[in-house]
Amino acid sequence: MPDLDPTFTALPYRRLGAVALGRATELGATHADFRFERIRHQQLVVRDEVLQTAMDADEVGFAVRVVHRGAWGFASGVVLTDDEARRVAETAIAVATVAAEMTTSPVELAPEPTYADVTWVSSYDVDPFEVATGEKAALLVDWTRRLRTGAAVDHAVAVVGQLKENKYYADTSGTVVTQQRIGLDPHAEAMGAGADTFDSMRTLAAPSARGWEHMTGASHDWDADLDEIPELLAEKLKAPPVVAGSYDLVIHPSNLWLTIHESIGHATELDRALGYEANYAGTSFATYDKLGTLQYGAPIMNVTGDRTTEHGCATIGYDDEGVQTQSWDIVKDGVLVGYQLDRSMGHMKPELNGGRSNGCAYADSPGHVPIQRMANVSLQPAPDGPGTEELIGRVEDGLYVVGDKSWSIDMQRYNFQFTGQRFYRIKDGELAGQVRDAAYQATTTEFWGAMEAVGGPQTYELGGAANCGKAQPGQGAWVSHGCPTSLFRGIRILNTTQEAGR
C-alpha cells in the first residue's frame, strides 16, 4: 500500500475536526460529522502535437454535517483556523434549525461499527502528481503525432485527467478515517473528413483507479489502439450507412458499460427510487415495491454492486459517512434483489442490508453534502461462457458494437439511445466491415430481457466514467462498470442521418 501523502497529513484536520465536533455537540447535535478534503486535479490536453491545456487545480476545505432537531444541517468553509471550524459548526446547527421547520420525517441513521483511526490507500504504482508535467505532455504529444500519421486523420487530440483525493472523516461516534486514492482518465481521438462527411474515432481505454502506469501499458494496450485508429477511421469514413431496422447485437464491454451505468446503475439507486432526485436526475422504474419480483432481464443476468474492486473508480475503504465498503447483489438470475444505500436509507429499509448502509455515500468536494452515489455496478460473466468470436458466430444478421459515444436515457430509466465508436456488420457469423450513422434504442427491461448470452471471464473488462452527474447542487463522481461481451436479440437500430431528416 502506498503511503499517505505527507503534504496532506501535515494539514491541521485533526485539530479542526475536534473543535468542530466539540462545538456541534455543545450546541446539542445528536450526530455530527467532520470531513476535511484535499482534492488535486490536473488536466492536460494536447491538440495536433501542441499542449493546449495544462491546468492544475487543487481544492482544500472542510464540512460539518449535523443532525439537530431531527433535521440535517450542512455547512462548509475553507479558512483553516479553529475560529472558522467553530463558526462552520455553528452555521450547520443554524441551517438545521431552519430546516427543522420544513422537515416532516425526522432524519435517522443506520448504525455502523466505530472505526478508531483507520487508514486506507488505493492500489497504484506511480502517483501521477509525482511525474513531471513535461514528461506527461510529451507522451500525449507523441500520441497525437502517431494518430496524425494516418492519411485519413486531419486532427488529433489527446487528453488525460488526473485525480488525487485525500479525505479525513471523523464523527461523534468516534470513527476516524484517513484515505487517499488516485484516478486516471485518458483518451485520444482522431478526426477526419470524407467526401461529404466528417467523423472521429477514439481510443477504448477506460478511466481507472490506477497510477501513471495506466498510461504506459500496464493496463491498456495503447500501442495497438493508436496504431489501429487511423485505419479504423478511414474505414468508417467510407463505410455505408446503416439501414434502420431490427438487428441482433454483440456488444463489447467498451460500449456495454455505459448502458449498464444508465439503465441499471442509476435505476437501482434507492434515493432515486424513493423520489429524492425527482426534480433533477429523475426517479426509477425499479420502485421499491418491485424488490424481489421485478424481472429486470433474462435469467442469465447477474449484477453486483461493490466499492471494493481493485482499481474500480468508485472503490474506497470507507464512505463519506464512515461506513466500511462492501459488495452485494443487485440483480440475481434476472430479478431485482438490491439497491445502493446510504445510512439514512439503510435505516429506512432494514430488510435490505440487515439495517446497515452498504456504503454508497459520497461527496465530490469538501463544499458538498454527501449523498448516495453509484457503486461499481457490474454485469457478471458466465463462468465457462463463450468468447467474443463465438458470440459473433451465433449471429446471422447483426451488428458488433465497440466503444461508447453518445448517450441519453429518460428520467425513469426506461427509454435509452446509444451510439458507439464503431458498428461492424455481422453476416452469417462473420464481421463484414463497418457501417456508419447507427444508434441503438430500447427500453431497459426489454433490452436486458433480450440478452441471450453473456460472455465468459476472458471477455470481461472494466469500463467506467469520470463525469457521472447527480444531485442539486450538481456533483460529479468516478465509477467503474465491469461486463463481458454479450449478445442481444432483435434490438431497434436507427440511422441518425435519417433521424435528422436528411
Partner 1 sequence: MTAPTTSRVHPQSLVDQALATTVADECVVIVRDNTSANLRWAGNTLTTNGVMHGVHVSVVSFVKQAGGVSTGSVSGSATTQAEVDVLVRAADAAARAADPAEDEAELVRDRVSPDWDDEPASTGIEVYDSVAPALGEAFGRARDGGRVLYGFVNHEVTTTYLGSSTGLRLRHVQPTGHFACTGKTADLSQSAWFGTATRDFTDVDPLAAEQTLAQRLAWGERRVELDAGRYDTILPPSAVADLMIDAYWYAGARDAFEGQSVYSRRPTGTRIGERIVDPRVRLRSDPAYAGLECAPFTVAAASGNDDSVFDNGLELTATDWIRSGELTALRQTRHTATMTGQPATGSVDNLVLEVDGASGSIDDLVAGTERGLLLTCLWYIREVDPQTLLLTGLTRDGVYLVEGGEITGAVNNFRWNESPVDLLRRFSHASATVPSFSREWGDDYFSRTATPALRVPDFNMSSVSPAQ
What CA–CA distance (Å, rounded) separates 331 from 295?
9
What CA–CA distance (Å, rounded) separates 370 from 167?
13
Binding partner 1 (rule: CB under 8 A), the pick from 9, 119, 123, 133 is: 133
Nearer to partner 1, 79 or 116 (CB): 79
- Residue 295 interacts with partner 1 (CB under 8 A): yes or no: no
What CA–CA distance (Å, rounded) separates 233 from 190?
8
- CA distance readout (Å), 268 to 104, 157, 261, 308, 343: 25, 35, 10, 18, 16
Question: 164 by DSSP, 3-state: which?
Answer: strand
Cell of 462: 472494466
Of 82-101, binders to partner 1 (CB under 8 A) are: 83-84, 87, 91-92, 94-95, 98-99, 101
Nearer to partner 1, 132 or 293 (CB): 132
- Nearest distance, CB of residue 174 and partner 1, angstroms: 25
- Residue 59 interacts with partner 1 (CB under 8 A): yes or no: yes
- Residue 72 interacts with partner 1 (CB under 8 A): yes or no: yes
What CA–CA distance (Å, rounded) separates 317 from 179?
7
Helices (H), 239-375: 253-260, 270-273, 343-348, 350-353
- Nearest distance, CB of residue 437 and partner 1, angstroms: 7
Is 487:379 a contact under the CB 8 Å cutoff? Answer: no
Binding string to partner 1 for residues 3 to 42, with x set by CB under 8 A, is what?
----------------------------------------
- Nearest distance, CB of residue 318 and partner 1, angstroms: 21
Nearer to partner 1, 64 or 335 (CB): 64
The 3-class secondary structure across 258-285, one letter per residue, is HHHHHHHHCCCEHHHHCCCCCCCCCCCC
- Nearest distance, CB of residue 458 and partner 1, angstroms: 32
Nearer to partner 1, 76 or 326 (CB): 76
Backbone angles phi, psi at 365, to 5 degrees: -160, 165
Nearer to partner 1, 69 or 220 (CB): 69
Of 100-119, binders to partner 1 (CB under 8 A) are: 101-105
Of 200-229, binders to partner 1 (CB under 8 A) are: 200
- Residue 275 interacts with partner 1 (CB under 8 A): yes or no: yes
What CA–CA distance (Å, rounded) separates 265 from 308?
16
- Residue 246 interacts with partner 1 (CB under 8 A): yes or no: no
Binding string to partner 1 for residues 440 to 459, with x set by CB under 8 A, is what?
-x-x----------------
Alpha carbons within 13 A on the beta-carbon side of 176: 9
Binding partner 1 (rule: CB under 8 A), the pick from 1, 15, 28, 78 is: 78
Backbone angles phi, psi at 345, to 5 degrees: -75, -30
Nearer to partner 1, 275 or 350 (CB): 275
Binding string to partner 1 for residues 151 to 170, with x set by CB under 8 A, is what?
---xx---------------
- Residue 328 interacts with partner 1 (CB under 8 A): yes or no: no
Nearer to partner 1, 254 or 283 (CB): 283
DSSP-assigned states of every residue in 62-99: EEEEEEETTEEEEEEE---SHHHHHHHHHHHHHHHHHH
Is 360:340 a contact under the CB 8 Å cutoff? Answer: yes
Nearer to partner 1, 94 or 218 (CB): 94
Binding partner 1 (rule: CB under 8 A), the pick from 66, 71, 139, 270 is: 71
Burial degree of 346 (CB within 10 A; 0-12, 13-18, 19+): buried
- Residue 132 interacts with partner 1 (CB under 8 A): yes or no: yes
E-assigned strand segments in 147-232: 155-171, 176-193, 198-202
In 3D space, the residue among 339, 403, 361, 1 whose CA is nearest the CA of residue 199 turns out to be 403
- Residue 130 interacts with partner 1 (CB under 8 A): yes or no: no
Nearer to partner 1, 54 or 382 (CB): 54
- Nearest distance, CB of residue 152 and partner 1, angstroms: 13
Binding partner 1 (rule: CB under 8 A), the pick from 1, 116, 151, 193 is: 193
- Residue 279 interacts with partner 1 (CB under 8 A): yes or no: yes
Residues in CB range of 410: below 8 A, 6 or more apart: 282, 416
Of 358-397, binders to partner 1 (CB under 8 A) are: 367-369, 371
